Amino acid sequence: MASHSEPETIPGASSIASGMTDRMMENAKRTSEFLKSLSHPLRLVILCRLVEGEANVGDLEAKAGLPQAVVSKQLANLRAAGLVEFRREGREIHYSLSHDHTRRILMALYDEFCDDDC
C-alpha cells in the first residue's frame, strides 16, 4: 500500500497568496469602478472630446448635441469618479482629463472601435 504524504508547503506561502488575492481584488474593484464610469455613452463622448484637450461646457454641449443640464450632470459624475478636473476662468469652467492613464485607455478604445469618421 502506497503511503500518502502531505504536499510540501513553503513557509509563508499562504500569506503571500492571500496578500496577492487581496491586492488583485482591490485592483479589480478599482478597475471595475473606472469601467463603470466609461460605460455611459454620453460620458464616453465627453471623455473622448477631452482627449483632444481642455473644453468648456459649451464645447461639450456642441459635441454631444444635448442640453447643458444633461452634459453638466454627466460632468458631475465624471468629476465624482475622479476622471475629469476643472478650472474656473471668470464665469467659464474648463474641463480636462485628470490622469494620463485615462487618456491612454481612451486612445486604445478609439483605435479599436472608431474609424476616421468618429
Q: What is the rounded average pLDDT for all residues in the chain?
A: 85
pLDDT for the residue numbered 9:
58
Question: From start to end of the chain, where are the E strands?
Answer: 55-56, 84-89, 92-97
**Among the ranges given (19-23, 27-31, 108-112), the one the predictor scored with the smallest mean pLDDT:** 19-23
> Using DSSP, how many helices (H) and how many strands (E) does the chain show?
5, 3
Whether 118 has a pLDDT exceeding 60, the answer reads no
Domain 14-113, second-level architecture = Orthogonal Bundle (1.10)
pLDDT for the residue numbered 112:
87
pLDDT confidence band for 17 (50 / 70 / 90): low
Whether 73 has a pLDDT exceeding 60, the answer reads yes
pLDDT digits (tens, 9 = 90+) for 33-61: 999 988 999 999 999 999 999 999 999 99
